[in-house]
Structure 1
Amino acid sequence: MDHLAPQAVESGRKDIVLEARGLVKRYGQVTCLDGCDFDLRVGEVLAVIGDNGAGKSSLIKALSGALVPDEGQILVDGDPVRFHNPTDARRYGIETVYQDLAVAPALDIATNMFLGREIRRKGPLGRYLRILDKPAMKHQAEQEMSKLKIGLRSMTSPVENLSGGQRQGVAVARAAAFAQRLVIMDEPTAALGVRETGQVLDLIRRIRDRGLPVILISHNMPNVFEVADRIHIQRLGRRAAVVLPTECTMPEVVAIMTGATSTAGPAPAGA
Structure 2
Amino acid sequence: MSSPNTASGGPADVLRVEHISKRFGTVTALRDVNLRLAKGEVLGLIGDNGAGKSTLMKIICGFHQPDSGRILLDGEEVSLKSVGHARSLGIDTVYQDLALINELSVYHNMFLNREPVLFGCLLNNRKMRTLAREHLDDMGVAIPSVDVEVAKLSGGQRQAIAVARSVYSRSRILLLDEPLAAMGAKEGVQILDLVRDLKARGEVSIVLIVHNYAQVLEVCDRVNLLQHGSIVLDEPTARTSVAELTELVVAEYRAARTRR
Pairwise TM-score range, normalised by the shorter structure: over 0.9
Aligned residue number for residue 207 of structure 1: 198
Aligned residue number for residue 219 of structure 2: 227
Structure 1 contact 240–256 (Cα < 8 Å) conserved: no
Aligned residue number for residue 151 of structure 2: 160
> What residue identity is the alignment partner of 1:179?
R
Aligned residue number for residue 65 of structure 1: 62
Structure 1 contact 95–179 (Cα < 8 Å) conserved: no
2:181 matches 1:184: no
Question: Normalising by structure 2, what TM-score?
Answer: 0.92
Q: Which runs of 5 or more residues in structure 2 are unaligned?
A: 254-260
Q: CA RMSD in A?
A: 1.6
Number of residue pairs aligned between Structure 1 and Structure 2: 252
> What residue identity is the alignment partner of 2:54?
S
Alignment of 1:27-176 (within 5 A): 27-121=24-118, 125-126=119-120, 130-176=121-167
Between the two structures, name the one with larger relative contact order (CA 8 Å, sep ≥ 6). Answer: 1
> What residue identity is the alignment partner of 1:220?
N
Question: Normalising by structure 1, what TM-score?
Answer: 0.89
CA distance in 1, matches of 2:134, 2:166: 14
CA distance in 1, matches of 2:19, 2:250: 22
Structure 1 contact 109–157 (Cα < 8 Å) conserved: yes
Structure 2 contact 43–206 (Cα < 8 Å) conserved: yes
> What residue identity is the alignment partner of 2:76?
D
CA distance in 2, matches of 1:45, 1:167: 21
Measure how far apart 1:5 and its partner are: 4.4
Aligned residue number for residue 17 of structure 1: 14
CA distance in 1, matches of 2:87, 2:69: 20
- Name the SS of the counterpart of 2:159 in structure 1: helix
Per-residue CA distance 1:85-121 (angstroms, 9 max, x = gap): 1101101111211111110000000000011111111
Structure 2 contact 5–34 (Cα < 8 Å) conserved: no
CA distance in 1, matches of 2:232, 2:80: 25
Structure 1 contact 7–242 (Cα < 8 Å) conserved: no
Aligned residue number for residue 240 of structure 1: 232
> What residue identity is the alignment partner of 1:246?
A
CA distance in 1, matches of 2:49, 2:2: 21
Per-residue CA distance 1:200-251 (angstroms, 9 max, x = gap): 0000111122221111011122211111110011111111111122222212
- Name the SS of the counterpart of 2:248 in structure 1: helix
Per-residue CA distance 1:68-95 (angstroms, 9 max, x = gap): 1111100100101111211011011112
2:246 matches 1:254: yes
- Name the SS of the counterpart of 2:34 in structure 1: strand
- Name the SS of the counterpart of 2:15 in structure 1: strand
- Name the SS of the counterpart of 1:72 in structure 2: strand
Aligned residue number for residue 265 of structure 1: none
Structure 2 contact 213–245 (Cα < 8 Å) conserved: no
Measure how far apart 1:146 and its partner are: 1.0
Question: Percent of pairs identical after alignment?
Answer: 38
CA distance in 2, matches of 1:252, 1:84: 38
- Name the SS of the counterpart of 1:87 in structure 2: helix
